[in-house]
Amino acid sequence: MRSADPLILGAGPAGCAAAIALAQGGASPLLLDRRAAVGDPLCGGFMSWRTLAQLEAIGVQLDDLGGHRVDELRLFASGNDASVPLPQPALGLSRHALDSRLREAALAAGARLEVDTIRALSPGVALGQRQDWQADSLLLATGKHDVRGQSRPRASDDPALGLRLRLPASPTRDTLLGGAIELHLFDGGYVGIVLQEGGSANACMAVRKSVLARCDGDPAALVARLGEDSPALAARLGSDWQQAGIETIGAVPYGHIARQTEAGVFRLGDQAAVIPSLAGEGMAIAVASGTLAARHWLDGGADAAQAYQRAFAARASRPIRLATLGWHLAESRLGGRAGVALARLAPGIVRQFAEMARIPATASLARR
Ligand SMILES: Cc1cc2nc3c(=O)[nH]c(=O)nc-3n(C[C@H](O)[C@H](O)[C@H](O)COP(=O)(O)OP(=O)(O)OC[C@H]3O[C@@H](n4cnc5c(N)ncnc54)[C@H](O)[C@@H]3O)c2cc1C
């Protein structure tokens, strides 16, 4: 039987935020995820002040999870560096810790969770590996993974790839990285490094496919080359990075915004809008989209999908435009140098830029 309650496909930040806001509004959402246990998805682990505010607005607290407080942005390029105070404090936290807290909060709010892998959608039906799930409203929140027939367009033949190293706690990294999010810029990409709970560090990079291809497609050879080129990066990677496995994710469609959708399908998180990861705002977008979709659904049910999608696309447009500009500058040698010089000479401009590349706060996420 077809359910009138919303069916949320994917229990990451976007899906859980939607589930929490829907349950708080009196609905009985069902979350579906392909994983029974929460993993530690590939992500930089930088939670912006806007992400924290969006979560607080739906009653999710992270204070007790031991995340690392971040007050400063440090930029490195071609042997130069600069630091800029962040507009507000941010947090370094693993996705395992965040996603676990979000799942708990969704279940505590009254959402239900089932495990299944969604293979494709057809009107009012999510085709799962275990069974087909029928619902008037489908909230597509599968994030980085596209469901068959719902692929997001790839704009470039030289797409960005994501790579991550999880580095163990070390006194040297603690001293070098304390209180900061660092972006090490290089020709064709960047490495972002931040400390997380327990003192471990997350080194996550976005790099053009062609740059990895020049290292024979070998992520370890790429990391070694970046360390040879940058003593500052080498100091942070230390001698133990080779023991950490390198995880990768292919072809991230940075800049994509879903401006339309099909009847009854609400696109959330990375399925709604993909901000270049350098901005550290993907999770704020995920939570904001989940919250806004819930508000639209509570107001208009399945029929509100198109209005929600248009409203969210309009909200996400400015931060994505600015972050895309920042990413393109940062991934060119000259642009990276200019960015560091600007951060030294006029830190206020970089700070302002960092603020403007955020999704508008929850309170101002008005319906359109
Ligand atoms: C290299 C890189 C670094 C990043 N660093 C940062 C950062 O530091 N800060 C930040 O804010 N953002 C960062 N981001 C962006 C951030 O990771 C994403 O924007 C965010 O994870 C999107 O959340 P989501 O809920 O839409 O999707 P996801 O986090 O991808 O969650 C999707 C969920 O859906 C489930 N799922 C997937 N497919 C299926 C299926 N077929 N059936 C059932 N379930 C399914 C998954 O198991 C998962 O639980 C980064 C991205 C990249 C690529």
pLDDT digits (tens, 9 = 90+) for 182-228: 999 999 999 999 999 999 999 999 999 999 999 999 999 999 999 99
Name the closest-CA residue to atom 37, ligand 1.
142
Residues of the chain with pLDDT > 90, as a percent, come to 89
Token couple for 213:
């291809």
Q: What value does the mean pLDDT of the chain take?
A: 94
Overall average pLDDT of the 122-143 stretch? 95
147 lines ligand 1 (CB under 6 A): yes
C-alpha separations of 19 from 29, 151, 288, 304, 316 in Å: 6, 24, 12, 17, 21
Ligand 1 pocket residue status of 276, Cβ below 6 Å: no
Whole-number pLDDT of residue 149: 81
Identity of the amino acid at 109: A
| pLDDT of 362 | 57
DSSP string across 335-355? HHHHHHHHHHH-HHHHHHHHH
The answer, yes or no, to whether residue 78 has pLDDT greater than 50, is: yes
pLDDT grade, residue 366 (50/70/90)? Answer: very low
Q: From the CA of 270, how far away is ligand 1's center (Å)? A: 7
Helix (H) or strand (E) holding 139: strand 138-140
- The CATH code for residues 7-64+95-154+254-334+360-364 is 3.50.50.60
Quick one: pLDDT at residue 364? Answer: 44
Kindly indicate the confidence band of residue 156, based on its pLDDT and cuts at 50, 70 and 90. Answer: confident
Q: If you average pLDDT over each of 119-123, 142-146, 308-312, which comes out highest? A: 308-312
Distance 316 CA to ligand 1 centre (A): 17
Delimit the domains of the chain by residue range. 7-64+95-154+254-334+360-364
- pLDDT for res 152: 84
Q: From residue 233, how far is each of 76, 172, 192 by CA, in Å?
A: 9, 13, 10
Using one digit for the tens of pLDDT, what is the confidence trace for 310-356? 999 999 999 999 999 999 999 999 999 999 999 999 999 999 999 99
251-260 mean pLDDT: 92
Tokens 């915004």 belong to residue = 257
Helices (H), the chain: 13-24, 49-57, 95-109, 171-177, 209-213, 219-229, 231-237, 282-300, 305-330, 333-345, 347-356
Ligand 1 neighbour 270 (Cβ under 6 A): yes
* CA 269 / ligand 1 centre spacing (Å): 8
Q: Is any ligand 1 atom within 6 A of the Cβ of residue 31? A: no
**Tokens of residue 130, six digits:** 């275990």
- As a whole number of angstroms, the distance between CA 95 and CA 204 comes to 13
> Does the C-beta of 141 come closer than 6 Å to ligand 1?
yes
Distances from the Cα of 175 to the Cα of 9, 178, 201, 235, angstroms: 41, 6, 12, 11
What is the reported pLDDT for 2? 62
pLDDT at residue 363, rounded to an integer: 54
Q: Which one has a higher pLDDT value, 155 or 13?
A: 13
Ligand 1 center to 229 CA (angstroms): 30
